Structure 1
Amino acid sequence: MTDTVFPLEPSAAEAQAAIIEEFGFFSDWTERYQYLIDLGRKLPEFPDAWKTEEHRLHGCQSMVWIVPEGDAQRLVFHAVSDSAIVSGLIFLALRVYSGRSAREILDTTPDYIAAIGLAKHLSPTRSNGLAALLEVIKARAAQA
């Protein structure tokens, strides 16, 4: 694991634009899946103590844990999965949403998913898991 700190870009919109640009470099989905796997390896350390039922994301076939921190001014999300591709999906979601204000999170539609073709190339269970992850992020922002 690395010490990646989110946000990487100043705004959620800029993060989405960067993701779309990066995925545009790849000509096929084999390369894009490999890139997702590589991104997943860049997730920050996630303490084993956080891998509890309380933090488990339900609705995903893989094991996923998510821990939100912060307040309406700045929400930070920590998450990890036991699946390499799902870890990459988590990385992308955190890149767009983690470290942002609750208002920016709520105002940001995850357009990058359709723009890079994820919607068409994920299995139904991975799509459901990604939707569940985004739902938790949006719900936490709404609570703040």
Structure 2
Amino acid sequence: MSLPSGAQAALDAFSACQGWEQRARLLMQWGEQLAPLSESERCESNRVAGCESQVWLLAERNGEHWQFRASSDARLLRGLLALLLARANDLPQRELTQLDLPDWFAQLGLARHLSPSRSNGLQAVLTRMQQLLTTDD
């Protein structure tokens, strides 16, 4: 399964990093690229349950493919969300339901730096993505 172009760009960028400090800086930069959500989009119905920080997620279907937008009040988490969206955006539903999040963050060299609560939060975001797929009309 080939990676979406955004995911390949992320993988290339993070693979070039020498250590955690470089990865952390790059993570913050990726987070700054997330399109901001409006106040009305930061509502309770778009909030992801199971995250310590506040996280909002919106999904839009474009034919067979899905586009997600997300934001968080935590800088580091915004970077992780940007990487998750780079991997998940434009995938068809079938591939989205098979997305292996721990493997993706391991490929980026970030898995061992994720606290259990961040890992659980990211898993909650992925679970919410998959719920949004099944509630689509």
TM-score, with structure 1 as normaliser = 0.81
Residue 66 of structure 1, CA deviation: 0.5
Q: CA RMSD in A?
A: 2.0
Residue 108 of structure 1, CA deviation: 3.3
Is the 1:36–1:89 Cα contact (8 Å) retained in structure 2?
yes
Give the total of aligned pairs: 134
Please name the residue that 1:7 is paired with.
none
Among residues 123, 127, 139, which one is paired with 2:119 in the alignment? 127
From the superposition, tell whether residues 100 and 50 of structure 1 become closer, same or farther in structure 2 (CA, over 3 Å).
same
For 1:113, give the aligned amino acid: F
Among residues 64, 72, 76, which one is paired with 1:81 in the alignment? 72
* Structure 1 range deviating more: 130-139 or 67-76: 67-76
Q: Give distance in 1, aligned partners of 2:134 and 2:110.
A: 25
1:19 aligns with 2:36: no
For 2:85, give the aligned amino acid: L
* Structure 1 range deviating more: 121-130 or 133-142: 133-142
For 1:139, give the aligned amino acid: Q
The 5 Å alignment of 1:112-123 reads: 112-123=104-115
Structure 2: 5+ residue stretches without partners: none
Please name the residue that 1:58 is paired with.
49
Q: Give distance in 2, aligned partners of 1:43 and 1:17.
A: 17
Name the % identity: 31
Residue 14 of structure 1, CA deviation: 5.1
Residue 143 of structure 1, CA deviation: 4.5
Structure 1: 5+ residue stretches without partners: 1-10
Residue 115 of structure 1, CA deviation: 1.7
Partner SS for 1:130: helix
> What is the CA deviation profile of residues 76-115 of structure 1, one whole-angstrom value per residue up to 9, with x for unaligned ones?
1111001111001110111111222212212333332112
From the superposition, tell whether residues 139 and 12 of structure 1 become closer, same or farther in structure 2 (CA, over 3 Å).
farther
Please name the residue that 1:48 is paired with.
39
Is the 1:69–1:76 Cα contact (8 Å) retained in structure 2?
yes
For 2:75, give the aligned amino acid: A
Is the 1:12–1:104 Cα contact (8 Å) retained in structure 2?
no
> What is the CA deviation profile of residues 11-65 of structure 1, one whole-angstrom value per residue up to 9, with x for unaligned ones?
6455444333211111111110111111000001311101111111111111110
